[in-house]
Amino acid sequence: MSEEVAFLGVGAMGGPMAGHLAAAGHKVTVYNRTSTKAEAWIDKHGGVWAATVDKAVGAASFVFACVGGDDDLRDVTKGEGGAFANMQPGAVFIDHTTTSAAVAREVADKARSHRLNFLDAPIAGGESGAQQGALSIMVGGDPDTFERAAPLLSVYGRSIQHMGPVGAGQLTKMVNQICATGIIQSLAEGLSFAEKAGLDGDRVIEVISNGSAASWQIGNRAKPMLERDFSAGGTVGLLHKDLGIVLDEAERTGASIPVVKLVRSFYEKFVDQGDGNFDAACLIDLLDGRSGDA
């Protein structure tokens, strides 16, 4: 069934996701803080561009957001010009932003005060997953609301799991970031070791991709690491932000995550020198000594 939906944030991840919704026959209205991105999306996918959040959401049964972080989510949801004050009662707000679990709960409470439904639904799979409609989506919120939203999420999600109440989606995304962080760093160290040992990097990647070291990170970041190509979309700036959220939650719960703390300090070096838009493959540069010492 075709739905009228709004999508707030059509950047590297949100743009392809909204595009899949349009391709599936849904009527999509998009809003983006940078209007040129919204206009480019309209040129490619059709649909409607709204210059402000309130104008984007008024007719939508489902409103999706994929913005920067905690404060960005607050900005698009709260206040007279925000989504919640202008959505139809009973509509569903689905947040794909990676935020803190505390903010997910805060925003969900605000949504309920407007007689709205809220799901925190962070995503994993990178730009390629968004473009291919093959994201992993981890969802927190009311089970009935999740069932309502699942057909739309399946348009661009390959794995969609309801994880529990509001906040559970964000906590699951934190687990994903913890696990991915160690793998990315170890991949950088392994390939740097291979180069210094005089091995053929391409052959190394081929053989370890079929052994116990196989991972999504090898499939998507090993070759860019060898080529020193840091142009993909998993930026260290965003990962630095994500790991800050993880460390805050770990402090609250008493969890020990020393690898995350270490690798975040490496990301911070790139952010501080103005290279926050580099893909995480750039970790190998630290081992080369080109971006400071690891």
Q: Which residue is listed with tokens 């927190």?
A: 140
269 is catalytic: no
Angle, helix 236-253 to helix 258-272, in steps of 10 degrees: 150
Active-site option among 110, 173, 241, 269: 173
Distances (CA, A) of 17 to 7, 224, 287: 9, 24, 35
Q: Which residue is listed with tokens 């349009």?
A: 22
Contact 97, 29 (CB under 8 A): no
Exposed (0-12), middle (13-18) or buried (19+): which is 239, by Cβ within 10 Å?
buried
Q: What is the CA radius of gyration of the chain?
A: 20
Contact 41, 15 (CB under 8 A): yes
**Structure-token pair, residue 247:** 């460390």
Neighbours of 254 (CB within 10 A): 6
Catalytic residues: 173
